[in-house]
Structure 1
Amino acid sequence: MTTCSGTKEFEGAAFVKANFKGATLRFSDVSGVTMRGVDVDGLDIDSHDLFFGSLFVNGVDVVPLVDAELNRQFPGRELQKARTPEHLREGWMAVQSAWQETVTGTPQDLVDAHVEDEWSLAQTLRHLILATDAWLRGGILQIQQPFHELGQIFTGADQMGFDMSIFRADPPTYEEILDVRAERQGQVTDFLATATTDLLAEERENPWGGDDWRPSVGDCIRVI
């Protein structure tokens, strides 16, 4: 199987009668791609940035439809866009409830299992620890070194110059992960308990660097 990585040679390219059946694209930019007369049976798309743009299928922007269906499947999800302290607190309660159901409903022998190349439940919880550290402790509270050693950093962070020595090399136990995750959840709960509308509107630096976006405190919370 051919693997292409870190290439821009296909930007603006045209493919005619090409066969991409069974191909996998990860961490790739397919924005602005146009497909006409294509067979899309079984096409599977997962994009965290889907709701920041548009996706047209046969002339119909399906993003609002996907958004509405996910809100139906996951009650409380609609509060991820909340703007007031009260609604953010309500949304955070819904998030915690959903994760608690996932954690308690997963057998112990499956917490390290993988579906295809995705993270396991244990790794995902570690990434949630990292996300809380980045956006609450780093972004909002501006702690100089906000990261816990159990955090799961995203792929390619070392190539971006991120200090990987912060994190433990040996895998933690599931109990350790749950303990730190609970602690970080408590920190978010405590912060939201006293958050005000004015505080949510304050600007912060992007915890991952760059000057192209200065998130508000509310933006940081909504990421978590």
Structure 2
Amino acid sequence: MTDFSEQDLSGSSFDRVDLSGSTFRGVDLSGAVIREVDLSNSRIRAAYFDGVRMHGVEIPDLEISGEVVRLVVNGIDVVPFVEAELNRRMPERALMSPTDVAGFWEAFGTMDRLWGETTDLARTLPPEKLHEQVDGEWSYIETLRHLGFAHACWIGGVVLAQKSPWHPLDLPWDEAPVHEGVPWVRRIKPDLHEVMDLRRQRRATVAEVLDGITDKGLGRRVTSATPFLTDATDLTVADCLRVVLNEEFQHRLYAERDLRALGAG
């Protein structure tokens, strides 16, 4: 097996090469031309697919999970159909795109209720199970820690312009770069009480924002950024709040699925 690290292989041609079982991490494949390749059983995570065009492909079994804005299958944009079906299955999901202060209060209140139910489910497991991962996904504790990071990043750092909104329990996404002054530690195992205490602190910050803002204020352009969101200044306060809401909603679904796989309930 050959390892390629920190090398510029741009413009290379791979013809009749066996790359099965290979791992690509932090690799730039933009503009790549891929023809007559076998991608069966591939696992792709945290990838960016803007402008990708696939023609003459055979897809007996393909699963996509993520933020899909436009997906055209045989000439039809299927995203509106998917969105409608997801909202039918989960009526609370339609509340996650509010446009006024009252709507945000309702949406965050709904998330608190749903997460309360999920946490009750988590408490049916032995504490050590809450640190177990399913299929390489975050454990329940790691998921709550990541949501703490999302709150710190989008609400504390961007909306409130706090210079250091971070907490040592905050957990960024797996591929996040390390930045000086950001005090998280990845390999720790806090208990549920500790992460729930951090969550209450983060929710209090959201309440602080909503208590002090008007519907018009939701449209204010943010002027601050964090080391992870250097381009966030094109967004509004409402945009940042919606990002957190949708992080909360999606990760709760994953967390509940994984808790049940671990035997919760």
The 3 A distance-change label for structure 1 pair 99 and 42 is farther
Give the counterpart letter for 2:139 in structure 1. S
Contact residue 218 and residue 237 of structure 2 kept, 8 A: yes
**Which gives a bigger RCO, structure 1 or 2 (Cα 8 Å, sep 6+)?**
2
Q: Which runs of 5 or more structure 1 residues have no equivalent in the other structure?
A: none
Residue 194 of structure 1, CA deviation: 3.7
Give the counterpart letter for 1:192 in structure 2. L
Structure 1 CA distance, aligned partners of 2:152 and 2:49? 30
RMSD: 2.1
Residue 211 of structure 1, CA deviation: 4.1
Name the counterpart of 1:191: 209
Name the counterpart of 2:258: none
Residue 33 of structure 1, CA deviation: 2.4
- 1:6 counterpart SS class: coil
Alignment of 1:163-182 (within 5 A): 163=180, 166-168=183-185, 170-182=188-200
Give the counterpart letter for 1:8 in structure 2. D
The worse-fitting range, judged by mean Cα deviation, of 62-71 and 37-46 is 37-46
How does the TM-score come out when normalised to structure 1?
0.87
- The list of structure 1 runs, each at least 4 consecutive aligned residues, that deviate by more than 4 angstroms after superposition, is none
Contact residue 125 and residue 181 of structure 1 kept, 8 A: yes
Aligned pair 1:153/2:175, yes or no?
no
Contact residue 166 and residue 182 of structure 2 kept, 8 A: no
Name the counterpart of 1:128: 147
Match of 1:61 among 63, 69, 77: 77
Residue 142 of structure 1, CA deviation: 1.1
Name the counterpart of 1:89: 105
- 1:102 counterpart SS class: helix
Number of equivalenced pairs:
218
Name the counterpart of 1:113: 132
- 2:131 counterpart SS class: coil
Aligned pair 1:137/2:156, yes or no?
yes
The 3 A distance-change label for structure 1 pair 183 and 165 is closer
How does the TM-score come out when normalised to structure 2?
0.75
Contact residue 77 and residue 94 of structure 1 kept, 8 A: no
The 3 A distance-change label for structure 1 pair 6 and 180 is closer
Name the counterpart of 2:53: 34
Q: Which structure has the bigger radius of gyration?
A: 2
Identity %: 29
